[in-house]
Structure 1
Amino acid sequence: MEFIIPITGAVKFNITLDPTVWIFDDRRIDLDEFFEGKYEYKDADEEYTKVTSAHWSREIIEGSTNPPTLKSEKKYEKTKMLSNTYGIELKQFILNAEPLNEAKNLVIETNEGNHTISLEEVDNILVKFSHKGKPLREDGPVHIIKKDGSNLNDPIRNVTAFRLE
C-alpha cells in the first residue's frame, strides 16, 4: 500500500500528501473528542500570540524559569499521540493546491471505485489518518469521514488520490 496521496486535476499546483507525518501537525484533531462534542477549534495564530504573551509576561514578572510541569506535559502529549485517534481537515490541503475556477467537484479515488462530492462540501470532510495511535495500514492510508459523523461507522477507505474536476 502506498502512503502518499496526490491531489491532482483542475488545480494550479499538484500536491502530494504524506499522512504519516500528520501526527506531528498542530492542526490534527482528536477525533474521539471531536465526535463527543468536547473539541474546540483553535486559531493557530491566536494560540501562538496567547502563549507568547503569557511567556513574556511571566519572564518580566518572575524572570526566566522553566515551569516544573513541562516534562510531565510533554510525556502526557506523547502518550496521547500514541493512543488516540486523529484526523485532519481536508479543506486546507485543497486550498493549498489552489483549485482552478472550473473545478466544481472533488473525486476521491479508492481501490473500490470513485466517490464524488462538490467542492462546497469539502469544508465538512475530515481525513482520519490514525486509529488508537496506529497508522491505518490495512484499509488506509486514510479514511474520509464527514464532520456530522453520518459515515463514522462506514467511512470511505483505501483512498489512493484526490482529483478536482
Structure 2
Amino acid sequence: MILPITGKVAYAITLDPTVWIFDKRKILLEEAFNAKSQKVDEEDEVKKASERWDRAVNTEKQKQSVNKNITKAEGKKFLENSYVMPIKEFLTNTSVKEDAQNAILETANGEETIPLKTLENSLLLFALDGKPLKEDGPVHLFYNDGSNRDNPIKSIKKIIID
C-alpha cells in the first residue's frame, strides 16, 4: 500500500496513501473536476503560503497547529467519502531534475508512460467510500481535466520520473 517515486529526482520518496485521509490537502472526488473547486484550490494555496509564513515567524502558533483534533462528525465524514490528492506538491518535494520529460507508471498490468507535466497536474484517488484501494490500488490516477474520469489508470505500484 505504498507508492515509491524514483528516477530523475534528487530525493526518491515513498508515499503512504493510507494516511492521506486526515490530510488537509485532500479533495472530495465529486468536487475534483469542478472549475469552481480548482479556483478555490488556487486561493487555498495562497492562504496556505500565508499560514506557513505565519508559523515560521510565530513558533507559538506553530505549536498550536501541529495536531488539530478532529470532531466525531469529521471522522465519520472521512470514512464515507471518496477522495483524491493532488500529486504536484509531492513531486516538488522530490526535486525533479531539469532533464526529466516523462513519468513511467508501473502498474499491475504493465507500464504506462505519460508526460511529466500531465503527472504534475494529476490527482491520485486513494480512498473510495472512505476505504483504501486494496484490490486495484494503492492509487488510481486521474488527469486534472477529468478526461479519464471513467477510466483512470489503476493499480499504480511505482512512479519513475524519466
TM-score, normalised on structure 2?
0.79
> Which residue is 1:85 aligned to?
82
SS at match of 1:140: coil
Residue in 2 aligned with 1:29?
27
Shift of 1:29: 0.9
1:161 has 2:161 as partner: no
> RMSD over aligned Cα, in angstroms?
2.1
DSSP 3-state at the match of 1:77: helix
Structure 2 CA distance for aligned equivalents of residues 139 and 23 of structure 1: 18
Tell whether 2:11 aligns with 1:7.
no
Residue matched to 1:57: none
Separation in structure 1 between the aligned mates of residue 51 and residue 147 of structure 2, nearest angstrom: 30
Q: CA deviation at 1:35?
A: 3.1
Amino acid in the other structure paired with 1:33: E
Structure 1 residue 139: Cα displacement: 0.5
Q: Gaps spanning 5+ residues in structure 1: where?
A: 51-70
Q: Identify if the C-alpha distance between structure 1 residues 47 and 13 changes in structure 2 by more than 3 Å, giving closer, same or farther.
A: closer
- What TM-score, normalized by structure 1, do the two folds share? 0.78
Any conservation in 2 of the 1:32–1:84 contact (CA below 8 Å)? no
Report the alpha carbon displacement of residue 34 of structure 1 after superposing the two structures with TM. Answer: 2.2
Q: 1:45 aligned to 2:49?
A: yes
Residue 111 of structure 1 deviates from its aligned partner by 1.1
**Contact 1:127 1:142 survives alignment (8 Å):** yes
The percent identity for this pair of structures is 42
Larger-Rg structure? 1
